[in-house]
Amino acid sequence: MPRLVAVGSIAYDSLETPFGRRERALGGSAVHFSLAARLFTEVGVVGVVGDDFDGEPVLTERGIDTSGIQVVPGGTTFAWEGRYGYDLNVAETLDTRLGVFEHFDPQLGAAHRDAPVLFLGNIQPDLQRSVRAQSNAAFVALDSMNLWIEIAKDSLTAAIGEVDAVILNDGEARQLTGEATLLKAARAISALGPRIVVIKRGEYGAALFVDGRFFGVPGYPLEEVFDPTGAGDSFAGGFVGYLAASGQTSPDLEHLRRAVAYGSIVASFNVEEFGTERVQRLCRDEVDGRVRDFHAMTSFVLA
């Protein structure tokens, strides 16, 4: 039985940035998350694909449990095409083909229901609530996006009230709460129910709000960035994967701080190449080494 189960999209991404292009790169929230989380713990992925999908070996070679992936005969896998300019924080969507993902109705098998940690990736909030109701997990984290805030805010608010941790980017946190500052936004999200609120800030780092306390890290400095696609899901995979490996069902502040650092570092590797290419071959020693560098860059002694 995997210790951590991730439910979300499995996709093919066609990507263009000023530094190159990839066609049908393996992607999707569940894929980016699972590849990152597997650096820390046993992971199972739940998703849906068409019979055109040939990316499963990438996951199984990394030791990810793919028994929860449903293959729909005659169907096509979710596909997204996007383009970035030199501002890599902004993606222009050129085409979206939902394929079999349009009718995704995730169902957890027995082993996945009893996994102690559950990650609800960026899917429709009512589906997130359905999966949460099926799961016996002691710790549940949720991610979302601006679309669901726009068209399903009440459902998303209800889903947030049923989980332990919420992971959003800064724009989503402001949009959800109507608050201009991240501190007020985080407090408003926490008031909905979750003990832990993590706000991703892209190249500027990440912030953690837990039990009324604040912790933040900057972005890891990189000389080259090729593609930001999936960086947020890789951050979530590093964050939740590290917590799952700790065995704590109510993680303390120090574990949460380290999890933010590990999530940030895994995301920093993700953007160095296209799609999942870099994280596919990433090893834990590389992550630990960069975390040590990160600690040295951000620590100081009070006079």
Question: For residue range 58-90, what is the model confidence (pLDDT) as tens digits?
Answer: 999 999 999 999 999 999 999 999 999 888 877
Q: What is the pLDDT of residue 179?
A: 97
- Ramachandran sector of residue 75 (left: φ over 0; alpha: ψ -120 to 50; beta: rest): beta
Cα of 160 vs its chain's centroid, Å: 15
Q: What is the pTM of this model?
A: 0.96
Q: What is the DSSP pairing of strand 213-217 with strand 4-7?
A: unpaired
Domains of the chain listed by start with CATH number: 4-298 (3.40.1190.20)
Token readout for 149 is 């805030």
Per residue in 29-55, pLDDT tens? 999 999 999 999 999 999 999 999 999
What tokens does 34 get?
Answer: 């699972």
- Using 50, 70 and 90 to split pLDDT, how confident is the model at 271? very high
pLDDT digits (tens, 9 = 90+) for 135-154: 999 999 999 999 999 999 99
CA distances from 150 to 94, 120, 154 (A): 20, 19, 10
Determine the Cα–Cα distance for residues 267 and 298; give it in Å rounded to an integer: 17
- pLDDT tens per residue, range 107-137: 999 989 999 999 999 999 999 999 999 999 9
Going by C-alpha positions, the residue among 22, 3, 10, 2 that lies closest to residue 233 is 10
DSSP element (H, E) containing 142 = strand 139-143
What is the radius of gyration, based on Cα positions, of the chain?
Answer: 18
Single out the residue of 176, 132, 123, 187 nearest to residue 154, CA to CA: 176
β partners of residue 216: 207
Contact 10, 77 (CB under 8 A): yes
Please report which confidence band the pLDDT of residue 6 belongs to, taking 50, 70 and 90 as the band edges: very high
- What residues contact 266, with CB distance under 8 A and at least 6 apart? 36, 39, 234, 235, 237, 238, 279, 282, 287
> Cβ-count burial of 179 within 10 angstroms (0-12 exposed, 13-18 middle, 19+ buried)?
middle
Q: Given this model, what pLDDT does residue 89 score?
A: 79
